[in-house]
Amino acid sequence: MYAVIETGSKQYRVAEGDVIEVETLPAEPGDRVELDKVLLVSGEKGVVVGNPTVQGAKVVATVQTHGRGKKVIVYKHKKNYHKKQGHRQNFTRLHIDEISVEEK
């Protein structure tokens, strides 16, 4: 069983037991978070596509850590001008515990 979720304006394909890195969430390590923007669920009963989200579906995850990604170098160059700048994106590492869909 897998699901496609949206968090931080990005979409992720997740299955139970996966570890993913998402945009920073306001939660402490060890907290459980519910992600309810589920766009698609695929399981034993087939594929359910939301319009825009699947009603009654949620993904429960545990926050493992917070961190910062690898440094990205941005270099702008023109005649008689150059600028070098770096950026490191913050992230939250999640462990996917459960994917559930409420039956109607």
Q: What is the pLDDT of residues 20-56, one digit of tens each?
A: 999 999 999 999 999 999 999 998 889 999 999 999 9
61 close to 18: Cβ distance less than 8 angstroms: no
Q: What percent of the chain has pLDDT over 70?
A: 99
| Average pLDDT over every residue of 5-13 | 95
- Domain range summary for the chain, segments of one domain joined by +: 2-101
Q: Write out 21-76 in H/E/C secondary structure.
A: EECCCCCCCCCEEEECCEEEEEECCEEEECCCCCCCEEEEEEEEEEEECCCEEEEE
92 close to 12: Cβ distance less than 8 angstroms: no
| Average pLDDT over every residue of 56-68 | 96
- Supply the pLDDT for residue 104: 66
52 close to 40: Cβ distance less than 8 angstroms: no
